[in-house]
Amino acid sequence: MTAERKLFGTDGVRGEAGTFLTAELALALGRAATESLQADRPQVLIVRDTRESGPMLESALAAGVAEAGGDALCAGVLPTPAAAVLVRKLGLDLAAVVSASHNPFKDNGIKFFGAAGSKLTDEAEAQIEAVLAAGPRPAAPGHVRELSGGEEDYLRALQAAFPLDLSGVRVALDCANGATHRVGPAIFERLGAEVEAIAVEPDGRNINDGCGSTHLDNLAAHIASSGATVGFAFDGDGDRVLAVDGEGRTHDGDELIALLARGQAARGELGGGVAVTVMSNYGFHQAMADAGIEVATTKVGDRYVLDELRRREWAIGGEQSGHIIDMRFAATGDGIAAALMTMRELGDRDLASVEAMEKLPQKLVNVEVADREAIAGATAVWDAVEREGAELEGRGRVLLRPSGTEPLVRVMAEAPTAEEADAVCKRLADLVRQELG
């Protein structure tokens, strides 16, 4: 039985920098993660995004690695998926990413990738917490070094995996003032595209601020006044991507995965089915059924999608939020790689002309609660979920779950009409507020 994790959530250790995620905690995590490897002189890669707290936490994390007898190799600002690529390419023992993904600049986080380039399992994270709780053990200190060339290595890996000719294609990129602000435009330009890049001037505080994959209006407005036929919006650390077509319509992760899966299946390249989370739109499942593509459903978190892909030996999966995994490139969500896969699938077509699935109207409400775990015992809520689900069977669905990182309960409903989805969601959200306060 896996030990309970108290620090790690669905995507590493995350919280407000300087209060919850302090330099002391970062040092302790670096030390414990290195000790848990039980290796002689572990080599640990560290990358970060553009938050102002990043250098502080990077330094503390590196100090913890060295204190435990490892060598910390600091590569600076790079997307999260670059860590997954480089730890494998360079033959390192561990990679650590300092980032809070799509969260505001005040937050930060630390997540780890193993030597094979995938996020650590729940069991491995629980082991790190156990080592941390046991306290430090004596070790001959290692070194902290700067790693140069990591950005170029990542760009070469992308170019080798996706040797596209994008000559004459005008692409807009919203880099969220985050970790993709250099490498995102660079790879599209190398492939011949005309690139219009926005949100590429990080100042430490403007990451995800009115831009990126959580604020698609910014990219849609830019496309409306430009000649770009397609746009991609990344999140702060670059492991997510959403798209906007030349007519200003947005396309989420479900739609992009459906496009990739249907195209690959038609060519006999899919190699099985697709894995998605419980958040995927009901319309996605209908589209995959129509195409004869098997779908596996997991709980929320790209690590669980990855586990399912491995178990079934499939290649493609992801989340509605824009985490898209192709195991043939990297064992984690990679926003830039997913954007390039989309361009490869489109060929000479415009994204506006392609309809890989028909989305059902969806309503999502985040209900703030004092204790998100208390939802497990809210019998009246779960009885209502069962009733509402039975009413929508064959036409839509409902989903209720606690957030993995925030004091929220997420309530979602999908139905044939927006009005019905809104009504179902409101009834359930009101009941959660009533029961949990």
Catalytic residues: 101
Residue 392's nearest CA partner among 430, 367, 423 is 423
**Are residues 28 and 61 in contact, defined by beta-carbon separation less than 8 angstroms?**
no
Instruction: Give first-to-last CA distance, the chain, whole Å.
Output: 33
**Are residues 331 and 117 in contact, defined by beta-carbon separation less than 8 angstroms?**
yes
Q: What angle do CA 50, 55, 57 make, to 5 degrees?
A: 110
Q: Strands 397-402, 408-414: parallel, antiparallel or unpaired by DSSP?
A: antiparallel
* Token pair recorded at residue 245: 């077509």
**Are residues 218 and 210 in contact, defined by beta-carbon separation less than 8 angstroms?**
yes
State how far the Cα of 17 lies from the Cα of 23, in Å rounded to an integer.
Answer: 9
* Token pair recorded at residue 119: 């996020």
**Are residues 50 and 202 in contact, defined by beta-carbon separation less than 8 angstroms?**
yes
